[in-house]
Amino acid sequence: MPKRNCIYFWKEYSMEAKQSEEINGNKDHNKLKREMGEVGEGNDNLKLSLAKLVKDSTSDEESELVSLSLGISSTGQHEMKKKKNRNEKMRENEDLKDILALGLDIRFDSSAIKNLSHESSCDGERKEEELSETWPPSKVVKTIMRTRDKSEVSQHAELKKARVCIRARCDTLTMNDGCQWRKYGQKMAKGNPCPRAYYRCTVSPSCPVRKQVQRCAEDMSILITTYEGTHNHPLPTSATTIAYTTSAAASMLQSPSLSSQLGPANSDTVPLINSSVAYNLNALNFTSSSYDQQFSKSSQHLYFHNSSISTSNSHPTITLDLTSPQTSPHVGKFTPGLSFIPKHSSTNLHFSSSTFSPLQSSMLQSPWSPYGDCFNYEGLITQNSNQNGFLTKTGKQPFQGHLYQPNYISNRVISQQPLPDSVVAATKAITATPKFQSAIAAALTAYVGNGVRENHVGAESAGLDLNLGGDMPYTTKKADYTSNASRYKRMSSSAPTAPKRNLVISQPLQASKSSFGSSSLKSNQFIDQ
């Protein structure tokens, strides 16, 4: 907690210093400079601590290594996994940051995979990598695959890629995750009135990464994006951020040590900890994959009361719920009889929605941020609205709309909330998990490493720049923009056309809900075109 506060204070001091300077001239300049320096030193210490944490957590559990390898080529990954001695693995960990910067990938040591699949083996993994490398499968490859020994194929089928789902309130067709996608299919999924859209990464022609985008059946304002596969190419800066987040979450999913603490592997649902802690995991707010029945059929659910990690033998899946717990009916489903919910506790487990909110909010409200006060929720989104408060879409822009009222929480408020002993104990239990530490450390490292930059670019790259609802400069979905514009004209009858790149205030949840509710009968509005 002190470490986290250190980050916050660094930023707040920085901004306050700048603001004071503007208001009072250079009166307190030296003093503030000195204070900033002190906090900056603390931040450096934090970096060192995090580096040590990453190193320790993996070296202590060598046999359960979960490697978060982002964007490295499959071949390189495979060779890395062959390294057996401690020094080499520690060197891997030291290189983690460089690896993370390249893309999304989730790799496990074979011992970790065993917990997920009976058929896990190096051979099976290699087969999967081979498949990835040859994707997209041409008809020739397809034919070859089909004529292979059936046992070989079935073996491969049992070892499918881990998936990372992100649930977030989003009013556009897709989240802006920084990558470039091409839609290749759309299907109506059972149990969901909204169609599911299939995208593949087009940054590189051979990139095997795919994603599925679907509205949550229970709350159509929630967009569920499922990522699968490994980018085999460098990613844009804005895309690396989501890679950090999803990889950290995936590392928890694949963590045997965590699983062993949570309960028996095959139980359907395993109550984990005091429910209140779940809310402190916000950014790593793991929820059941109930949105997709295919995932829940043979799933294990290890949940933090209202949150859960869901895996299945075929597709280990983890869901990052970036939606507000207060407003998500999905989350409510997992909180029966919840009696105590510390919305803003001071644990350092706040991670996305809450953790990055004050961080980025404060950062982006700085005089150096061109986004100012508009960027005030989750640090993720800005949105446009006209003077009447209606959401307007502005086509291509770095940040686009979010549909619910920001619930900005200042860091000071958080810090002042007393914690019940149960929460402290539960928090301690979770944070004692090396893999959790590793995941948190990886994400924090990403933040600390980048987030102290003094411009909004740094903020974007460091703080979960999901740009929910925004299509990005990299995206090629020209039709999305145009269709979005027309869609919003339909959805909001009085919404005038806003000039592009405008930044606006937030849309109240009710407005968005009515909007989505009224359009729920025409589900294709959300994904179908």
Partner DNA sequence: CGTATTTGACCGGCGC
Partner DNA sequence: GCGCCGGTCAAATACG
Q: Which two tokens stand for residue 448?
A: 């600390």
For DNA, give the closer residue by CB, 239 or 374. 239
Going by the DSSP 8-state scheme, the letter that residue 465 receives in this structure is -
3-class SS shares of the chain: helix, strand, coil, % to 5: 45, 10, 45
Least Å distance, CB 217 to DNA, is 11
For DNA, give the closer residue by CB, 132 or 346. 132
Least Å distance, CB 292 to DNA, is 7
For DNA, give the closer residue by CB, 209 or 309. 209
Helices (H), 273-383: 275-279, 293-296, 329-332, 356-364
For DNA, give the closer residue by CB, 63 or 298. 298
The residue ranges that bind DNA (CB under 7 A) are 136-137, 139, 142, 146, 153-154, 157-158, 182-191, 196-198, 202, 210, 212, 293-294, 297-298, 314, 476-480, 482-483, 528-529
Is residue 507 within 8 Å of residue 516, measured between CB atoms? Answer: no
For DNA, give the closer residue by CB, 220 or 414. 220
For DNA, give the closer residue by CB, 185 or 370. 185
Is residue 403 within 8 Å of residue 509, measured between CB atoms? Answer: yes
Tell me how many helices (H) and strands (E) the chain has: 21, 13
Least Å distance, CB 246 to DNA, is 17
Least Å distance, CB 183 to DNA, is 4
For DNA, give the closer residue by CB, 38 or 158. 158
For residues 244 and 235, what is the distance between their CA atoms, to the nearest angstrom? Answer: 12
Q: Cα–Cα distances in Å, from 447 out to 161, 241, 481?
A: 27, 9, 30
Q: Cα–Cα distances in Å, from 21 out to 8, 25, 510?
A: 19, 5, 40
Supply the Cα-derived Rg of the chain in whole angstroms: 22
Q: What is the 3-state secondary structure (H, E, C) of 77-103?
A: HHHHHCCCCHHHHHHHHHCHHHHHCCC
Least Å distance, CB 193 to DNA, is 12
> Position 352: which residue type?
S
Least Å distance, CB 190 to DNA, is 4
- Helix or strand run (H / E) with residue 153: helix 150-158
Least Å distance, CB 110 to DNA, is 21
For DNA, give the closer residue by CB, 117 or 365. 117
Phi/psi region, residue 464 (left: phi>0; alpha: psi -120 to 50; beta: rest), is left
Least Å distance, CB 267 to DNA, is 18
